[in-house]
């Protein structure tokens, strides 16, 4: 990352960094690092710039917008601060102690389903009237569902790996269902990208929802 961002992170922390743990995985290029300071402060820092990927900075901006909107909660990693100079975007988050959960475990999946329902309720309470997604920098989910519904008319040009065979086989069943989601008329703020590598499970068992770059209305 550029040196000015390194210096900015150090200034934000205000204590000597005593441990650096680089993280791997995910779909975004750039820095993804856990930091521990002498005074006990722990943060997670992720950084991306247009030289690495021209699209990912906008996903980071969306995450910042979402976390600014929903505030603080034990259900997600809180936003500490952020940097955006137009080319590079950096996010400093609460570092959550935990590991990615094993969603092949039935008990863990049951927990995820229950906590996802709770997350939806919390988001509806925090943001009862979501903003216009375009103006707020969030994903337009109504538009996404409409695009997906239209895509059923072009199955012959969609690569096999982009669409599960069971959906392709029953396209006549799924297209109207997807279309209905685009026309439901109820707008809710949702995470929109819940999967194992966007979840952390605390040592006490609770799941934490991370990476809000796909958040939308």
User: Residue 27: pLDDT above 90?
Assistant: no
Q: Under a CB-based contact definition with an 8 Å cutoff, are residues 93 and 80 in contact? A: yes
Q: What does the pLDDT look like over 95-146, one tens digit per residue?
A: 999 999 999 999 999 999 999 999 999 999 999 999 999 999 999 999 999 9
H helices then E strands: how many in the chain? 7, 7
For residue 103, give both structure tokens: 């969603």
pLDDT of 128? 97
Beta strand segments in the chain, E: 17-22, 31-37, 42-49, 79-84, 88-94, 199-201, 207-209
3-state secondary structure of 45: strand
- What is the pLDDT, as a whole number, of residue 122? 98
Dihedral through CA 195, CA 133, CA 69, CA 183, nearest 10?
A: -60
pLDDT of 26 strictly over 80: no
Q: For residue 212, what are the contacts with CB-CB under 8 A and spacing of at least 6?
A: 62, 63, 66, 67, 76, 191, 193
Burial of 20 (0-12, 13-18, 19+ CB in 10 A): exposed
d(CA 50, CA 214): 18
The mean predicted confidence, pLDDT, of the chain is 95
Cα–Cα distance between 194 and 210 in angstroms, integer? 9
List the one residue out of 46, 70, 50 whose CA is nearest residue 58.
50
pTM of the model: 0.91
Q: Is the pLDDT of residue 28 over 90?
A: no
């Amino acid at each position: 990352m550029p040196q000015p961002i390194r210096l900015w992170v150090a200034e934000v922390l205000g204590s000597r960094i005593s441990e650096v743990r680089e993280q791997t995985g995910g779909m975004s290029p750039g820095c993804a690092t856990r930091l521990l300071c002498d005074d006990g402060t722990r943060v997670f820092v992720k950084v991306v710039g247009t030289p690495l990927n021209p699209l990912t900075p906008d996903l980071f901006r969306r995450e910042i917008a979402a976390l600014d909107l929903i505030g603080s909660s034990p259900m997600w990693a809180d936003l500490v601060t952020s940097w955006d100079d137009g080319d590079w975007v950096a996010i400093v988050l609460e570092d959550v102690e935990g590991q990615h959960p094993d969603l092949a475990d039935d008990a863990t999946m049951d927990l995820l389903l229950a906590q996802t329902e709770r997350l939806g309720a919390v988001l509806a309470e925090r943001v009862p009237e979501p903003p216009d997604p375009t103006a707020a920098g969030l994903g337009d989910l109504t538009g996404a569902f409409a695009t997906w519904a239209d895509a059923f008319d072009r199955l012959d040009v969609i690569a096999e790996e982009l669409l599960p065979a069971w959906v392709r086989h029953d396209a006549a069943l799924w297209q109207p269902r997807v279309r209905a989601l685009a026309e439901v008329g109820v707008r809710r703020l949702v995470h929109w990208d819940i999967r194992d590598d966007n979840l952390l499970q605390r040592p006490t068992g609770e799941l934490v929802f991370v990476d809000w770059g796909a958040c939308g209305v």
